[in-house]
A and B are shown apart, each in its own frame.
Chain A
């Protein structure tokens, strides 16, 4: 009748305890901390884009960046931290694209103006030279 006693010995109790510890760790892993840095970076990128007037020159990209950031914040609220981080990173990438596009459009416009001005200047010069002759 020693069997029942040995069944409840400490060595027999190791399995359930180990299982509990693993489960506890697993629970912790499923709720990692919020991706604060990524969210801040995205917000920063959006602010920069807004300051360069991307709302005018790249409205689609800026709008996408904003909605991605909103989705990221929503994911944080639902404790989907991995998705939140991805969305935040996508938002930042989108905002940076908006800024880049804005600067390209502006630079191209300035060049077009300069080109136009130069050709006008040349025309004027030719005309005034023609008048003098």
Chain B
């Protein structure tokens, strides 16, 4: 019985204590400021003490101030306290960003002003440079005028030179056409020459054009020209008459029949006979040279009648300078 009475007293005391503690706790929660707003407050204070930003966004700044103040009020409801704290924090951040924006915008004016100043300075400098350039150009212009006058004199000289040159050119053109005609003529003549030489069966050698007159010109052992062969010689005369500048060498050749001394003598006499005929037909004697070669330069073997006939001959060598030009 005694223990149960004591236990009941203990229980009653305990209940009283718990209730009291609960009441004290309840009081303490309502009286304690939320810990959050101090952070928002310190951010706001920092913002307000920044000389760059403090006066930039007054409306947002006022909003932030109000939100922080209401978050600082003691709240019974923890959820409401957290909410007000959140709002205060964002309002302060917003105020800072807007102040930064205003600051940048104010700076921008200064930057634009600066840019305009720089541009103005650049233009001023350019203008100064242009003025000095103009002065230099003017001076240069004066000297250029002097040289231009000189140039004009030169030009008139040059013009008369040019006219002279023009006349010279005309003259040259005329000369050229004359030369061209002469060339055409020369070409024609050369062609003609070749045609005639062809009929004479001339051969081009190192010594010149060689026209070989066979032994039909002379009777055996004689040095008189047969009259029947004159037509062949006449072609040669005509050719030499057309080209009076060419020298003529006449060589007599024989076969090996008879003594060499005799053959030498005979060959010279035959060459002289041809030369005499050419002279009689109008060829200037000074162009003609006659030689007796005898049997020394055969063109075929002397062991056959045919060979000996080929060796008995007179060669007329026409100087080749005009032909060589072609």
Measured CB to CB, the residues of A under 8 A from B are 83, 86, 89-90, 93-94, 96-97, 100-101, 103-104, 107-108, 110-111, 114-115, 117-118, 121-122, 124-125, 128-129, 132
Contacts and interface: CB of A to CB of B under 8 A. Distances in A.
Interface string B12-36: 0000000000000000000000000
Contacts of B69: none
B119 A121 contact: yes
Nearest to B97: A100
A117 B60 contact: no
A94 B90 CA distance: 6
Contact of A118 (B94, B104, B118): B118
A90 B87 contact: yes
Interface stretch (B109-117, B174-182, B306-314): B109-117
A21 to B, nearest CB: 26
Nearest to A101: B97
Contacts of B104: 104, 107-108, 110-111
Interface in B126-170: 129
A104 B79 contact: no
A95 to B, nearest CB: 9
Contacts of B100: 104, 107-108
B184 to A, nearest CB: 68
Contacts, number: 76
Contacts of B114: 118
A36 B51 CA distance: 40
Contacts of B107: 111
A122 B108 contact: no
B182 to A, nearest CB: 67
A129 B125 contact: yes
Interface string B82-110: 01001100110111011011001101100
B121 interface: yes
Contacts of A110: 104, 108
Nearest to A87: B83
A118 B60 contact: no
B122 interface: yes
Given A90-B83, A125-B125, A132-B129, A103 B111 contact: no
A129 B98 CA distance: 42
B103 to A, nearest CB: 8
Nearest to A115: B111
B108 A97 contact: no
Given A100-B97, A100-B101, A111 B91 contact: no
A106 to B, nearest CB: 8
10 contacts: A90-B87, A90-B90, A93-B86, A101-B93, A104-B100, A104-B101, A107-B104, A118-B111, A125-B122, A125-B125
A110 B119 CA distance: 19
Contacts of B119: 121
Interface in B236-278: none
A89 B71 CA distance: 14
B98 A104 contact: yes
Nearest to B100: A104
Given A97-B97, A104-B98, 7 more contacts: A93-B90, A100-B101, A103-B98, A115-B111, A118-B118, A121-B119, A122-B118
